[in-house]
Chain A
């Protein structure tokens, strides 16, 4: 058994369903006996990425490969892309609309949190084309 592959649709503009992919992966990792500290990091990074997709990209797809020692999560959207990646990685920097901020999101902690809670993070983004995040978290 090399890895377990799961896929999820992340619907756009639906805050309520954001988090269902991370919820499902969380439950799978618990069944595999992954340490709770690692489950927690995966859950937080994945949830932030899902919310980003909902706020900025009108949804997307999430692919997760679960190995026996780590997880690789690919979050792929076809949204507007990130104009200034350096700024986007700064804590507190946000391009979210006032409407989104009024809902309690868009505090500018999304990407910084994903970076903090993951072991490896790769961001491929092109303005007008979309963004693909590759997040890896080691279990032990």
Chain B
């Protein structure tokens, strides 16, 4: 079912004309979700966590992340932009966030609601979660990066119980944006709420409604798509409305460590980059980090500023956001949403782990399959060269066992 949704959504798509079948993406996929068949990279969607690593790595730009085209906003009379904080790091020579937010009004939106505002509310709620000791086992793992959540559900089942059961800031922002518009007297059916995303993982999470009863955003746009329109619009601003409402705390969520620093003084860890994230998850799995309270993990290098739908180098974007934080009036963590009940912040439903690596439902049959796989592996060269179209000799042997590949596809084996 989920496989269908993911392939329907095409979390990542292939431009077959550009794909040379070079195996770069296949070798680095964190869930071994890519095979090269007939010279083209194919995604096994049931394993894909939408991290965007293949999009980032493809030397031929054949991998594409999916998102809505800008004209999706035309379907609504009252259009609200919900920008990710990483958007602010994309522009040179901007010293006031209001320039960017007013630019959004210029390109067709009627209102804006910054994700960073909601991030501050999530920080406050996370602190409450710790104060009331609602966790079962420490450390608790952040759920802000949907690629990390998916990775845990696919590869690290024992860690699912450690996930912070709070909605991501973007989900809170989408909901609050709609509520604010309704409070202004705008008919509900006229309202369209659009997230401006730094990455395909967020596109996937919002389209599927990760942790929610149903998806709530009316569209998900890419930062790089909005960027081009904003560039010219920002030059033609006639007035500068004071739209920026978030503090520096909310902005800091754009890069790795920002979320964690707002939650814990010293008992936290923040890791970024998919390989680093996997190494930390392995340590968590072995209970080696029990002295920590909070673990923030971001699939992209540098955090959300490293998402593949951004334009700017993540480190440049991070430096710019740091500079922009100084222009803000206050540091953050608002209590303006104190009227909200806990359920407003908590996940509507807990995500379920996915058995995609399990060889068979029946453990005895799984053992037989594993024995066949091990025996096939022992006849393979162990080079993990990828020439067969599978990322490792082990993955190739598994593909043979499931009938997806045949032994003669190994070109390095002594025949």
Residues of A within 8 A of B (CB): 1, 3-4, 19, 22-23, 26, 28, 30-34, 36-37, 39-40, 43-44, 47, 66, 68-69, 139
B285 and A40: CB pair below 8 A?
yes
- Whether, in the assembled complex, B342 has its beta carbon less than 8 Å from a beta carbon of chain A, the answer is no
**What 8 A-B pairs have minimum CB-CB distances, sorted nearest first?**
A36-B158, A36-B157, A33-B358, A40-B158, A32-B366, A1-B367, A1-B368, A68-B363
| Interchain nearest-CB distance for B161 vs A (Å) | 9
B287 touches A44 (CB 8 A): yes
Residue B282 lies at the interface, judged by CB distance under 8 Å to chain A: yes
Add 17 more A-B contacts to A1-B371, A31-B357 (CB < 8 A).
Answer: A4-B367, A4-B370, A4-B371, A30-B358, A31-B359, A32-B363, A32-B366, A33-B355, A33-B358, A33-B359, A33-B360, A33-B361, A33-B363, A40-B158, A47-B288, A68-B363, A68-B364
With A and B bound together, what is the CA distance between A41 and B178 in angstroms?
46
- B286 at interface by CB-CB < 8 Å: yes
Residue of B nearest to A33 (CB): B358
Q: Is B15 an interface position by the 8 A CB rule?
A: no
CA distance A1 to B370 in the complex (A): 10
**Bound state CA distance, A36 and B156, in angstroms?**
8
Nearest CB to that of B373 among chain A residues? A31
A48 nearest CB neighbor, chain B only: B286
Complex: chain A residue closest to B361, CB-CB: A33
For the residues of A in contact with B, the DSSP-based class is helix
Cβ–Cβ contact B367 & A66, under 8 A: yes
A6 vs B357: C-alpha distance in the bound complex, in angstroms? 19
* Interfacial residues, chain B to chain A (CB-CB below 8 A): 155, 157-158, 160, 282, 285-288, 353, 355, 357-361, 363-364, 366-368, 370-371, 374
Neighbouring B residues of A33 by C-beta, 8 Å: 355, 358-361, 363, 366
Cβ of A23 and Cβ of B358 under 8 Å apart? no
Residue in chain B with minimal CB distance to A30: B357
Q: Which of A28, A30, A31, A47 has a CB less than 8 Å from the CB of B286?
A: A47
Q: List 18 A-B contacts (CB under 8 A).
A: A1-B368, A23-B282, A28-B370, A30-B155, A31-B359, A31-B366, A32-B358, A32-B359, A32-B367, A36-B158, A36-B160, A36-B353, A39-B158, A40-B287, A43-B286, A68-B363, A68-B367, A139-B363
What chain B residues lie within 8 Å of A66 (beta carbons)?
A: 367
With CB as the reference atom, state the residue of chain A lying closest to B360.
Answer: A33
Q: Give the CA-CA distance A120 to B135 in the complex, in Å.
A: 30
Cα A139 to Cα B367 in complex, Å, equals 14
**Chain A residue at minimum C-beta to C-beta distance from B367:** A1
What residues of chain A lie closer than 8 Å to B367, measured between beta carbons? 1, 3-4, 32, 66, 68
A10 to B155, CA, bound (A): 25
A22 surroundings in chain B (CB, below 8 A): 286
Contacting pair A31 B158 (CB below 8 A): no
Query: Which B residues touch A68, using CB under 8 A?
Result: 363-364, 367
- Of A26, A31, A139, which is in contact with the most chain B CB atoms at under 10 Å from its CB? A31
For the complex, give the distance between the alpha carbons of A26 and B50 in Å. Answer: 24
Tell me, in angstroms, the Cα distance from A134 to B321 when the chains sit together: 55
> Which chain B residue shows the least CB distance to A26?
B285
A39 CA / B358 CA spacing, docked (Å) = 13
Residues of B within 8 A of A40 (CB): 158, 285, 287
Chain A residues near B285 (CB, 8 Å)?
Answer: 26, 40, 43
Q: How far is the CA of A40 from the CA of B282 in the complex (A)?
A: 10
Contacts of B368 in A (CB 8 A): 1
Instruction: Report the minimal beta-carbon distance from B113 to chain A, rounded to whole angstroms.
Output: 38
User: What residues of B have a CB within 8 angstroms of the CB of A36 in the complex?
Assistant: 157-158, 160, 353
A1 touches B364 (CB 8 A): yes
**Chain A residues with Cβ under 8 A from B371's Cβ?**
1, 4
Complex Cα–Cα for A44 and B288 (A): 8
Bound: A36/B374 CA distance, A: 22
